[in-house]
A = this chain, B = another copy of it.
């Protein structure tokens, strides 16, 4: 982890201004943190002392279950907050957050800003909006996972994460994210290839029939 100082910090503060999210002047309190790919930004089960706001890169929130299984709860992208649970709730089992690419965040220290943030209607409104969307998304993922087989959820995942017509996600990550075994994931990928929806190219897949995948994905949604 690297903390940007002086000119570099200043440059980021100017380029990615988040002043509009606050009524009070936030700039002086902001630290700018850079994390390398695969680095843990927050360790599961520990106490975090910052509210984070992502300005570059992306990250993943993980939880480890008692049976050793790991779940990828959610992806965090540019302009997302994380660490807000610790801000609002005195007692909280902290989830692990890992950078999936090089990631740059604003880190807002609790000890200097908690009181100010919790009094700031502008900030709280934005945070509530963010949380309401997040909670809706989680609810959607929850009910979808209960109501549809992997075929549908994977089709959606492929379309969401594909880079143009090429899909490049790591299978192991997808297992944690969709909550299926590696074995079963590969079965369904094999099916998609058999049916001609996808074509394997080295360790990537080319999307040949986006409409077919779309049909499978569409049944998930009504919102």
Contacts and interface: CB of A to CB of B under 8 A. Distances in A.
7 contacts: A65-B222, A84-B132, A92-B223, A131-B135, A135-B138, A142-B145, A145-B146
Interface of chain A, main secondary structure = helix
Contacts of A132: 84-85, 88-89, 131
Contact of A131 (B92, B131, B146, B222): B131
Contact of A124 (B64, B65, B125): B125
A139 to B, nearest CB: 5
Contact of A121 (B71, B124, B135): B124
Interface string A201-223: 00000000000000000111111
A6 interface: no
A20 interface: no
Interface string A33-68: 000000000000000000000000000000111110
A69 interface: yes
Given A124-B124, A223-B93, A73 B139 contact: yes
B93 A222 contact: yes
Q: How many copies does the complex hold?
A: 2
Which of A74, A134, A139, A145 has most chain B Cβ within 10 Å? A139
Interface residues of A, number: 49
A141 interface: yes
* Closest 6 pairs between A and B when the two form their complex, measured CB to CB: A146-B179, A93-B223, A124-B124, A71-B143, A135-B135, A138-B138
Interface string A116-158: 0011110011011101111110110111111110000000000
Contact of A147 (B131, B143, B179): B179
A91 B153 CA distance: 24
